[in-house]
Amino acid sequence: MLKVENVKKAFGPVTVLDGVNLTVNPGEVVSILGSSGSGKSTLIRCINGLEKLNAGKITVDDFDVSKPKELAEARKRSGTVFQLFNLYPHMTALQNITLAPIEVLKRPKAEAEAEGRALLTQVGLGDRADAYPAQLSGGQRQRVGICRALAMKPRYLLLDEVTSALDPEMTSEVLDILAKLAKDGTTMVFVTHEIEFARQISNRIVFLEKGVLLVDLPTEKFFAADGGLAQPRVAQFLSKMRKD
Amino acid sequence: MRLDLTILIPHLGFLAEGALLTLEACALALIGSVILGMLVAIARTSSSKWISRLAFLYVDLFRNIPFIVQLFFFYYGLPEIGIYIDAFTTGVVALSIAGGAYASDAIRAGILAIDNGILEAAEVSGLSKRVTFTRIVLPIALRTSVRPLGSVLINMILTSSILSTITLNELTGQAKIVASDTFRPFEVYVVLLVVYAALTYLVSLGITLLHRRLNRDLQEQVS
């Protein structure tokens, strides 16, 4: 279980997360919606330990990310895919994927590479294993980024606006893969602006507004008139996003 | 006066000995200064205030003292307090220390230019600091710093001629002897010009190849 309890985070005088509570059970797909600056990405960065909490507690399968000794275990259980891919530019697609399994999980190189190639094949990049990031398109890079996270066999996949830097065609390449992962039962925390897609794959939708978690509802309920839409801020956000 | 290189033929072996010594000293100093440069670059980017301060002090100190003064201090000054080091070792150490100060600048710039997101990706995947540094930070930093590093190394080869002032008869030292033996400084120094130019050209060629190899993913854009 991934548990966020009363988390507060401020950057200087600016409060970004103000008492957020969230629980993600294995097998669930939880999408986090909210306008830019609402704290969505910061929440992900708190879960994977890139930001220190000011208050509250985050545990990944009972490992507390605020405790240095437990952070390593917590990180083994979660994999992050970034908005700007953040691939290692000097390594091939395959090397990007196998580095952590070999160095952190101490997997034999041949095994890690075989698994890496299998992952690349799954995302339709079986023939680009030896390409460098600079030789790949944005959509291809992000698919490598997803493989890199999956190679660590995480229990929770954290996706931080993974399609925001892609054009619509590349976005659909990446979303197709996420849909497949969701169908296979991968647990995901999905920060996104792709509302329709979130609606299709999520079990639950969470709405953040100015660092406060306003709504946390099952997907159907979120889009129902007596559910999430009853919240004026959610209704406003959804109608604005649909117009764009 | 006319250029007659044939008068140097009897002295070629003697000059080659000097050239070999220059090569040896430069090769060792090259390794020394790159290793030192890396360590100091790490120290300068360290989060520990004292370590980074110390590293900055080293760089500022050795960049602001003429090389010949450093060299004389090591070779003629240190024996006064009981530290004797032979000329070759002194030369290599002095070149490494001076070169290391400049090399650290080039490497540090490469490290600072690395996109923070890449480091975050390494961090969340659980890579240790050591692995992150050796497998990610250093190789990416070298991609950009290999060219400025090349200039530092070339400058070091040129500076190595100063080692002749501490009785180390490397290329320039031997050439001085031949010039005074033959009374033909013109020919001798013509040869010296060509040999130094060839040496540094080889190094810059090597740097270009290394740069291409490190940036092989960007082949089209770079070359």
Which positions in chain A touch B124 (Cβ < 8 Å)?
48-50, 75, 78-80
Query: Cβ–Cβ of B140/A99 closer than 8 Å?
Result: no
Find the mean pLDDT for residues B62-83.
Answer: 93
Q: Are B178 and B10 in contact (CB under 8 A)?
A: no
Please tell me whether residue B178 adopts helix, strand or coil conformation.
helix
The predicted structure's pLDDT at residue B67: 94
Please tell me whether residue A2 adopts helix, strand or coil conformation.
strand
Instruction: Compute the distance between CA of residue A210 and CA of residue A208 in angstroms, rounded to an integer.
Output: 7
- Between B120, B128, B139, which is nearest A90 by CB? B139
Give me the DSSP letters along B99-112.
HHHHHHHHHHHHHH
The structure's pTM equals 0.85
Query: Cβ–Cβ of A86/B117 closer than 8 Å?
Result: yes
Q: What angle do CA B92, B95, B99 make, to 5 degrees?
A: 140
User: Beta strands A187-191 and A29-33: pairing type?
Assistant: parallel
Could you state, in order of their start, the residue ranges of all structural domains in chain B?
29-214
Query: Cβ–Cβ of B126/A100 closer than 8 Å?
Result: yes
The CATH classification of domain B29-214, taken from the options 1.20.1420.20, 3.10.105.10, 1.10.260.40, 1.10.3720.10: 1.10.3720.10
The predicted structure's pLDDT at residue A111: 96
**Best B115, B124, B218, B222 residue to mutate vs chain A (most A CBs within 10 Å):** B124
CATH superfamily of the domain spanning A2-243: P-loop containing nucleotide triphosphate hydrolases (3.40.50.300)
In this prediction, residue B219 has a pLDDT band, given cuts at 50, 70 and 90, of: low
Helix count and strand count (H, E) for chain A: 9, 10
Per-residue pLDDT tens digits for B126-169: 999 999 999 999 999 999 999 999 999 999 999 999 999 998 88
Please report the number of interchain residue pairs, chain A to chain B, with beta-carbon separation below 8 angstroms. Answer: 67
Instruction: Compute the distance between CA of residue A172 and CA of residue B46 in angstroms, rounded to an integer.
Output: 42
B41 or B222: which leads in pLDDT: B41
The predicted structure's pLDDT at residue B220: 56
B45 or A73: which leads in pLDDT: A73
Find the mean pLDDT for residues B194-221.
Answer: 87
The ranges of chain A with pLDDT < 50 are none
Residue B223 pLDDT > 70, yes or no? no
Instruction: Compute the distance between CA of residue A163 and CA of residue A160 in angstroms, rounded to an integer.
Output: 9
- Between B139, B214, B217, which is nearest A134 by CB? B217
Partner A contacted by B124 (CB < 8 A): yes
Residue B100 pLDDT > 80, yes or no? yes
Token reading at A177:
């893969």
B183: distance to nearest CA of chain A, Å?
Answer: 55
**Best A85, A90, A142 residue to mutate vs chain B (most B CBs within 10 Å):** A90
Q: Among candidates A244, A243, A222, which has minimal Cα distance to A234?
A: A222
Partner A contacted by B220 (CB < 8 A): no
Query: Cβ–Cβ of B126/A90 closer than 8 Å?
Result: no
